[in-house]
Amino acid sequence: MREIHLNGYIDDEIWYGDEITPASLHDELYPQDAQPGEDVRIILNSYGGSCNAATQMYDELKAYPGNVHIIVSGTAASAATVLAMAANRLEMTPGSLFMCHDPVMGAYGNEADLEQAMGILRACKNSIINMYCQRTWHSRDDVAAMMRATTWMDANAALQEGFIDAVMTEPAAGVTNAAFEHRVDPEDAKAKYQSWVDSHKPMRRSVRNEAPQAVPTELRTSASDLQGRLDRLKYTY
């Protein structure tokens, strides 16, 4: 079984150098020297990122001809939990954390633009619920409520809720004894998650954590330029 380590921010392309992208995952799954369809074990540690990229990676893993065994070693939060749902077998080390929440995005514009952003968020959330419900026994309403509440789970709770298949009882190859025995503090993980997201997406403003700034009423750029910028906005999870 071949091992792949996914550690970093999930995004559609490389920005800061520590991203996990659909292209980089594809290259890891299909290296030139690997046997076609060889089973893989993925060691996952990520606070999340782009919902679009995570969904592409989910589809890539689902289509992979070999078995995909994912081990969460550290944290699987936000979009990282989406790609984790593609595993044939999903496990967590005893000290790891799992977090699901509602998707967020940055948006600006007129009333119609913001209504469109709301529609994108609702569609994104529904697509995530689709993937969660293929693994967990929870109803769609239950999963939606867990996401709305921003639910952090340790390994035992994630197992009880049906998101993972097992809590590891001994280290596997690629998971060091220190990592296996380490316990992630939930409050520390929450703080690091927010700090990490803020540092990687400086232009994104969370309505939960920051007050909106005044928007000038005069149009300083052309309508076509504004539309182009809106089109480039990426929703994240």
CATH number at 151 reads 3.90.226.10
In terms of residue numbers, what domain contains 106? 2-232
Res 225: pLDDT: 55
Q: Which two tokens stand for residue 159?
A: 């197992």
- Asked if residue 152 belongs to a domain, the reply is yes
pTM for this structure?
Answer: 0.74
- When divided into structural domains, the chain yields a total of 1
Q: How far apart are CA 84 and CA 165, in angstroms?
A: 11
- Asked if residue 237 belongs to a domain, the reply is no
Q: Which residues contact 208 (CB under 8 A, 6 or more apart)?
A: 104
- Asked if residue 77 belongs to a domain, the reply is yes
Q: Which two tokens stand for residue 152?
A: 């952090």
Q: Name 10's bridge partners.
A: 20, 49
Q: What type of residue is 179?
A: A
Instruction: Please check whether residue 152 is in contact with residue 47, taking contact to mean a CB–CB distance below 8 angstroms.
Output: no
* Strand duo 97-100 + 151-154: pairing: antiparallel
- Asked if residue 30 belongs to a domain, the reply is yes
- Asked if residue 193 belongs to a domain, the reply is yes
- Asked if residue 213 belongs to a domain, the reply is yes
Please give the chain's pLDDT, 237 residues, in tens: 899 999 999 999 888 778 899 999 999 999 988 787 899 999 999 999 999 999 999 999 999 999 999 999 999 999 999 999 999 999 999 999 999 999 998 888 999 999 999 999 999 999 999 999 999 999 999 999 999 999 999 999 999 999 999 999 876 665 654 445 555 666 776 676 666 556 655 443 333 333 333 333 343 445 555 555 445 544 556
Res 33: pLDDT: 86
- Asked if residue 51 belongs to a domain, the reply is yes
* Residue from 27, 218, 19 nearest 6 by CA: 19
